[in-house]
Amino acid sequence: MARPEYETQKDLDKENNISQVLSDVWKCSLVKMPIKYHLDYAIVKDEKIVGFCELKSPSYALADFKRFGGFFISLDKFMSAKKLNESTGLPCMIVINATDGIWYTTFHDAKFTSFKIKGRKDRGDWQDMEPCVVLDTDQFKLFKKSVDNV
């Protein structure tokens, strides 16, 4: 049996809005990638892929994640990003659309503090709990202050 998809249209709209902000500032296109690549977008400039990007839109500020001990990302996603970087030599970004702004760092030189089992418990899906990498929040750079409607 296939695992259910939990992304809602609202989630996809928010992701699309933030990808448009990134495209406008970076002067590129963000092209949605198939799920098998584990990251959300290819970053395309002049018809060439110049990087990859994972977008997250948590309902917390970056400072909240610092209090939580760091930003948690699936170990599978982290390993996939590292593999994409090693295979292509292209940067793999993680962009967090937090409540206090848009923050970013790269996966390939990310500093992490530990590995933990984390995830959601509200959906009754045992696969929501998984090994995660805990990223040090000090490495995230502010891309843009909070954006309305994003």
The answer to whether residue 140 is domain-embedded is yes
Q: What is the pLDDT of residue 120?
A: 67
Query: Rounded to whole angstroms, how far apart are CA atoms 43 and 32?
Result: 9
Q: Is residue 4 part of a domain?
A: no
pLDDT at 126: 65
Selection from 149, 109, 117 nearest residue 134 by Cα? 117
3-class DSSP state of 149 = coil
Contacts of 35 (CB under 8 A, 6+ apart): none
CATH of the domain at 37: 3.40.1350.10
- E strands along the chain, which residues? 29-32, 41-45, 48-56, 71-74, 92-98, 101-106, 112-118, 130-135, 141-144
Indicate whether 2 belongs to any domain.
no
| Residue 150 is assigned to a structural domain of this protein | no
pLDDT of residue 81: 96
Q: Bridge partners of 130? A: 118
The tens place of each residue's pLDDT in the chain, 150 residues long, gives 454 566 778 878 888 889 999 999 999 999 999 999 999 999 999 999 999 999 999 989 999 999 999 999 999 999 999 999 999 999 999 999 999 999 999 998 888 889 888 776 777 776 778 899 999 999 999 998 865 545
What SS3 class is residue 136?
A: coil
- In the chain, the number of structural domains is 1
- How much is the pLDDT for 119? 73
Q: What is the pLDDT of residue 38?
A: 93
Give a yes or no: residue 149 inside a domain. Answer: no
In this structure, are residues 54 and 77 in contact, taking their beta carbons and an 8 Å threshold?
Answer: yes
Domain with 95 in it: 9-144
Residue type, position 79, single letter? M
Tell me phi and psi for residue 80, to 5 degrees. Answer: -65, -40
